[in-house]
Structure 1
Amino acid sequence: MSNSEEKIVDHGSDQLCLAEEPITNSIGQHAKPWKLLIVDDEEVVHSVTHLALDGFEIDGQGLEFISAYSGAEARTILRGHKDIAVILLDVVMETDRAGLDLVHFIRRELKNKLVRIILRTGQPGQSPEQEVITQYDINDYKEKTELTRQKLFSAVYTSLRSYADLYALEQNRKGLMKVISASATIFDERDISQFSQGVLEQLTSLLYLDNDAVLINTSGLLAHPEMENLHILAGTGKFKDCYGDVDISIFCSEVVERIRYVLKNKKSSYGENYWLSYYVTKSGLEQLLYLSAKDTFSVPDIEMIELFVKNVAIAHETIALLESCQK
């Protein structure tokens, strides 16, 4: 596609123009690794697990190995790492039931329902599989003698897929709660920010995107491409604490150039690992949504993103109209 070409997507009465990417070198996104906690009192088990899962990767994300050699040490680690995805857990450590007690701690005290727990035991007679599965909230049960490299790989792979789905659902639930809460008062309290934040969190979780996303109101402060300020309505990831009028330098130079390009050409822009959506209402209110992702966006993803920006802009415009009528 040449610099002068455009890709047009027809959405009923709206026409989406996708501008050609102005940056020749796209920014590579370094995906955060999945956190895997190994809890076992035998050093050799940790070493063998590292070796067996060497080079493991899902969707560009590798593994970060964290080791604990007792149930007590694992408790300390779990309190400090809320985002551990999978635990490979031994049963017999400092006590005969140290692993099972840790499961109780994770599920009951920490109330962590997301982390996937794979129980590994070298003494299955002490903790029969049927008893453990029915009485404890674990996700898999393996005897160390049967756990080949391939079986371990498969167990961790399926557990991580399950964790990713559950995490997305949880983030979607939290976003939906914010939307429900904000929707009841959005026009009474003129609070577009909470509404935008909730829907943005839903969007990023539904599309399995990286957490970094930001919704920008470009009317006024950023009406001209050379201005240095912008107004953020909502953000996630590294932009979560950004709100209101901020300096454009919070973005790296490549993203700043992309924003200026979109504002100048009044068209959405995209690359291999990002989408910058542009929408303008009939009254001239402009909004941008910047999203980062590990992979390219599909057509359904694009349609959902564009619909999000459009609806938030219209809601924002409606609030502004109500305020002007009451003056």
Structure 2
Amino acid sequence: MKKIDNAPLNDSLSLADELATNSVGVNTKPWKLLIVDDEEVVHAVTHLALDGFQLGGRTLEFISAYSGLEAQEILQGQDDIAIILLDVVMETDRAGLDLVHYIRRELNNKFVRIILRTGQSGQSPEQEVITQYDINDYKEKTELTRQKLFSTVYTSLRSYEDIIALEENRKGLAKVISSSATIFQTRDISQFSEGVLEQLTALLHLNSDAVLVNSSGLIARSGMGKLKVLAGTGKYKQYQGDFDVADFDDEIVDRISSVLENKKSNYGEDYWVSYYITKSGLEQFLYVTSNDVFSIPDINMIELFVKNVAIAHETIALLERK
């Protein structure tokens, strides 16, 4: 197991480069693609054209609807559909356009990428549709070859991936702003830590070629043989408060114990443990796991995060003594 001191990471680029060469697993949860068309052959051809498609190690999950109303029912129960391949003329001449209005206005879903596919462009001229409806692409069925459909879906998924990461970052930032305004009045570091941690994981998503799915983080400080968990995300979200090290999984215990014993950050193929100790002796660390490789900017951001939260916590402790 490698270890790294709290010295600036610029002095340890070879270590970070070594970390970047680690190959790790990827999330296998498929991207959801909804096909909305009243012609069965269109569904079959789409399946065939996108057979074997992958992005970030994730395949496609095809969902079929044969009318605008059927698509509405599906969308009401699934808010994680990434792309909709949408016909215009189905049960009515404007069924597809009405569905766009329903998605954007009534469901308030701004994230799903809507690709309009029409076989009757004369009824829905491209310029009119693009300017009046919140769609992301307009294609005539006759122009969508297998390669063009592949490229369209690929670029749309990239866009969806970034938009979701931005939304997670926005939520985390909002929590930081709301909590930082009162942090020194309430003496509550937990909400502040949780907000910054959510923002951090969202930013890590953006800095990766593949979204950091299944990312989980845990920030804690040690003292008197206990761990005080300040905030957690992912599978560690349930942890908050005082815990013995033994309360965690054996694998985590080994990694945390190594950090506390050696007073140094360390990492493995799918995790990073960042350690920081303040001038007053307050020890704090961030444990992050991921299914993707941590880049050098990711590592720098993690180290900076732990340092700043530790300093904020120390400041609150000093204020409490007054």
Whether the TM-score (by the shorter chain) exceeds 0.5 is yes
C-alpha displacement at 1:159, in angstroms? 0.7
> Aligned ranges for residues 1-327 of structure 1 at < 5 Å?
6-7=3-4, 10-11=7-8, 28-208=25-205, 209-220=212-223, 223=226, 230-245=227-242, 252-325=249-322
Contact 1:216–1:287 under 8 Å retained in 2:
yes
Tell me: CA distance 1:51–1:242, structure 2 relative to 1, closer, same or farther (3 Å): farther
Q: Which moved more, 1:170-179 or 1:180-189?
A: 170-179
Look up the match of 2:208.
Answer: none
Write the distance in 1 (CA, Å) between the matches of 2:6 and 2:221: 23
For residues 91 and 274 of structure 2, what CA distance do their matches in structure 1 show?
A: 55
Deviation at 1:6, TM superposition (A): 4.7
Report the Cα offset of residue 222 of structure 1.
5.2
Give unpaired runs (5+ residues) of structure 2: 206-211
**Whole-angstrom distance in 1 between the partners of 2:146 and 2:225:** 55
CA distance in structure 2 between the aligned counterparts of 1:248 and 1:56, rounded to whole angstroms: 43
Is the 1:215–1:287 contact (alpha carbons within 8 Å) kept by the matching residues of 2? no
CA distance in 2, matches of 1:255, 1:47: 47
Q: 1:69 to 1:255 in 2, by over 3 A?
A: farther
CA distance in 2, matches of 1:79, 1:63: 20
* TM-superposed deviation, 1:109: 0.8
- Range that drifts further, 199-208 or 99-108: 199-208
Tell me the percent identity: 73
> TM-score if structure 1 supplies the norm length?
0.85
Amino acid at match of 1:154: S
Alignment length (residue pairs): 312
The CA deviation string for residues 64-102 of structure 1, in whole angstroms up to 9 with x for no partner, is 222222211211221222121111111122222111111
Deviation string 1:22-72 (CA, Å, 9 cap, x unpaired) is xxx997453432221111222222222222112222222222222222211
Q: Secondary structure at the match of 2:222?
A: coil
Asked whether the equivalents of residues 273 and 285 of structure 2 are also in contact (C-alpha less than 8 Å), the reply is yes
After alignment, is 168-177 or 282-291 more displaced?
282-291
Name the SS of the counterpart of 1:207 in structure 2: helix
After superposition, the Cα gap between the structure-2 partners of 1:232 and 1:51, relative to the gap in structure 1 and judged at 3 Å, is farther
Higher relative contact order (CA 8 A, sep 6+): 2
**TM-score of the two chains, using structure 2 as the length reference:** 0.86
Whose helix fraction is larger, Structure 1's or Structure 2's? 2
Q: For 1:70 and 1:231, how far apart are their aligned partners in 2?
A: 53
Unaligned runs of 5+ in 1: 224-229
The alignment's C-alpha RMSD in Å is 2.9
Change (3 A) 1:267 1:118: same
C-alpha distance in structure 2 between counterparts of 1:12 and 1:291, whole Å: 17
SS in 1 for 2:223: coil
SS at 2:169 equivalent: helix
Question: Structure 1 residues 222 and 41, CA, compared in 2 at 3 Å: closer, same or farther?
Answer: farther
| Change over 3 Å in CA distance of 1:6–1:308 after alignment to 2 | closer
